[in-house]
Amino acid sequence: MATLKVKDGTEIYYKDWGTGQPIVFSHGWPLDGDAWDAQMVFLGQQGYQVIAHDRRGHGRSGQSWEGNEMDTYADDLAELFNALDLKDAIMIGHSTGGGEVARYIGRHGTSRVAKAVLIGAVPPVMLKSASNPEGLPIEVFDGIRAGVKADRSQFFKDLPVPFYGYNREGAKTSQGVIDDFWRMGMLGSIKGELDCIKAFSETDFTEDLKKIDVPTLVLHGDDDQIVPIDASGKKSAKLISGSTLKIVAGGSHGMCTVMADEINEILLGFIKG
């Protein structure tokens, strides 16, 4: 098991497979690096070095009481970049991980980064406000907190249904995917996961997005029930200079899993382009 001890002593677990140009994956909440298995195997077989870490408080990484916020997440990732001496990397972030990618670039720049991909990502900011009327009201996130506190196990059995679009007519539900979502969610720290709800919902990434100066793909499903495209993907694409917005018809929040073949081909095309 590969781990990196970062500056506050927290151990960050990561997977590092293959050789070639590095691709670094940042996962969504409440998951871990295993959420990227379909992409890592595919892109690894195409001749890339594929790396996915478990964010602190998630998966197999340390369960720190403090530091469960975007600045520290980004700094943890920077320490991993430095430890592995990654250069010319492609950063891919899903949901909360898209915020992590944006904050990493906002704080650490793109000297080690060649391209970026934001998939169903939370930037620029999820929380509804007078200046962000397309966002989601605070009651939505308070409901998530209440669900995690009251019965985290059941909450992580229920959430995958809209997450993967299994509540849509004609959807083919996979109990295995639901069970794996539950497994990843329950492996994390309840404290870290609760803190992360505030991090992914209330952090404003506007200035981070404006600092992205590498080719960037904003990839979002038009049926994302978790991170609405009008409040996120469409706005982010306008804030990132020269970015490409790709809308996936029928794409759910979890489309990297349930539409893996289509998403993998889109990613490979962007990486090679």
Give the active site residues. Answer: 95, 224, 253
Cα–Cα distance for residue pair 269/255, rounded to 1 Å: 17
Q: Estimate the share of the chain in helix, then strand, then coil, as percent rounded to the nearest 5.
A: 45, 20, 35
Cα–Cα distance for residue pair 104/106, rounded to 1 Å: 5
Query: In the Cβ-directed half-sphere of 21, how many Cα atoms lie within 13 Å?
Result: 13
CA distances from 82 to 58, 63, 104 (A): 21, 22, 13
Is the separation of the CB atoms in 199 and 73 below 8 Å? Answer: yes
DSSP string, 97-112: HHHHHHHHHHHH-STT
Cα–Cα distance for residue pair 253/165, rounded to 1 Å: 8
CB atoms within 10 A of CB 70: 25
Is the separation of the CB atoms in 127 and 135 below 8 Å? Answer: yes
Cα–Cα distance for residue pair 91/102, rounded to 1 Å: 10
Cα–Cα distance for residue pair 167/33, rounded to 1 Å: 25
Cα–Cα distance for residue pair 76/84, rounded to 1 Å: 13
